[in-house]
Amino acid sequence: MGARGDRGGVRGAATAALPVGTSRRYRRAARRRPDRGRAVPGERRRSAAAAFPTRMDARGDAGHRGADGADDPSGRARADMTGPNQRARQRLSAEARRLQLETAAIEIVGRDGLAAATADEIARTAGVSKGLLWHYFTDFDDLMAHAARRAFTALEAVVAADIDLDADVDDLLRAAIRRAAQLPATHGAELRTIRQIVLNLGAFGGGAALRDREYSALYARQAALLRRGQDHGQLRADLDPRLLAVTYQGMVDSMLDYLDTNPDVDPLTYADHVADVLLAGITPPGKR
């Protein structure tokens, strides 16, 4: 090895690779022109794919994924350890991704409160990069509003799932109240998320405005059922069905708040108490 053969980098490697006896002029030229075909000791070669950032696909997810299609909270590409079919299966649709992020927000708010639901914590819980949140939501307020809306929808679906909508309205109401009374035990995170957002978020879509939007549609559906009961003589005809829906939902919400903070109270006993009080006031005298 020549006197300069111990220099690091490409130029030192090129000089060290020359055979003994090569002319001084050739050695000087070689030092000026690195030998690109030879490996450089100690230098890691990167693949062409790793040298360029991942491009965002049509759904906007790829820019926040590792090379294997899995999410990397750091945003860096990971080594490609799977084939194309496996990578395709790991990509989520826009709706599936929103569900993932909103569910993570509901989990955190329901467990630890609104203050704990930072963008970093939501991304960590969902297993994605924080930047991915802003591809699907305009800002943090928008994410919270969508999380509350999803919680509303989930709770309504749970209550309606086991209810016979063709039953007499008084039986339907009693069954719905009993089913709702079990929500603090089965869907406590959703209940607490709605309460936290509605009560504490002036900016997240306007907490009260968000509640009014979601409840307005709920009241309309409930009023239609109550009107049917009036038409069949099962409920008092002199009551306004929409106001009756608001009254009914208010009683249910108060029951849920109490059960959530008093888990020692039997939910079905309380549900029957609420149903008895409600039906005693809205059932025609001849049917009591």
Number of domains forming the structure of the chain: 2
Task: Kindly state whether residue 72 falls inside one of the protein's structural domains.
Answer: no
Which domain covers residue 212, as residue numbers? 138-287
Q: Give the per-residue pLDDT at 208.
A: 67
Give residue-wise pLDDT tens across range 247-286. 999 999 999 999 999 999 999 999 999 999 999 999 998 7
Q: How far apart are CA 120 and CA 134, in angstroms?
A: 12
Give residue-wise pLDDT tens across range 40-71. 444 443 333 333 333 333 344 544 543 334 44
Task: Kindly state whether residue 123 falls inside one of the protein's structural domains.
Answer: no
Q: Give the per-residue pLDDT at 211.
A: 75
Q: Give the per-residue pLDDT at 288.
A: 64
Q: How far apart are CA 147 and CA 109, in angstroms?
A: 10
Task: Kindly state whether residue 78 falls inside one of the protein's structural domains.
Answer: no
pTM of the model: 0.64
Residue scoring higher pLDDT (88 or 39): 39
Which of 12, 66, 4 minimizes the C-alpha distance to 38?
12
Q: CATH number for the domain including 232?
A: 1.10.357.10
Is the predicted pLDDT of residue 9 greater than 90, yes or no? no
Task: Kindly state whether residue 116 falls inside one of the protein's structural domains.
Answer: no
Task: Kindly state whether residue 83 falls inside one of the protein's structural domains.
Answer: no
The verdict on 282 and 156 lying in the same domain is yes
Task: Kindly state whether residue 60 falls inside one of the protein's structural domains.
Answer: no
Is the predicted pLDDT of residue 154 greater than 50, yes or no? yes
Give residue-wise pLDDT tens across range 66-115. 333 444 444 444 444 344 433 333 588 999 999 999 999 999 999 999 99
The verdict on 147 and 262 lying in the same domain is yes
Q: Give the per-residue pLDDT at 30.
A: 46
Give residue-wise pLDDT tens across range 189-237. 999 998 888 777 655 556 667 777 888 989 999 999 999 999 999 999 9
Token pair 């108490």 in the structure block, residue:
273
Is the predicted pLDDT of residue 13 greater than 50, yes or no? no
Task: Kindly state whether residue 63 falls inside one of the protein's structural domains.
Answer: no
Q: Give the per-residue pLDDT at 282.
A: 96
CA distances from 88 to 70, 76, 78, 95, 252 (A): 10, 19, 15, 16, 45
Partner residues linked to 65 by β-bridges? 71
Is the predicted pLDDT of residue 179 greater than 90, yes or no? yes
For the chain, give the DSSP string. Answer: --TTTT--HHHHHHHHTSPTT--HHHHHHHHHS--TTSPPTTPPP--HHHHSPPPP-TTS-GGGB-TTS-B-TT-PPPP--S-HHHHHHH---HHHHHHHHHHHHHHHHHHH-GGG--HHHHHHHHTS-HHHHHHHSSSHHHHHHHHHHHHHHHHHHHHHHT--TTS-HHHHHHHHHHHHHTHHHHSHHHHHHHHHHHHH-SSSS-HHHHHHHHHHHHHHHHHHHHHHHHHTTSS-TTS-HHHHHHHHHHHHHHHHHHHHH-TTS-HHHHHHHHHHHHHHHHS-GGG-
Task: Kindly state whether residue 93 falls inside one of the protein's structural domains.
Answer: no
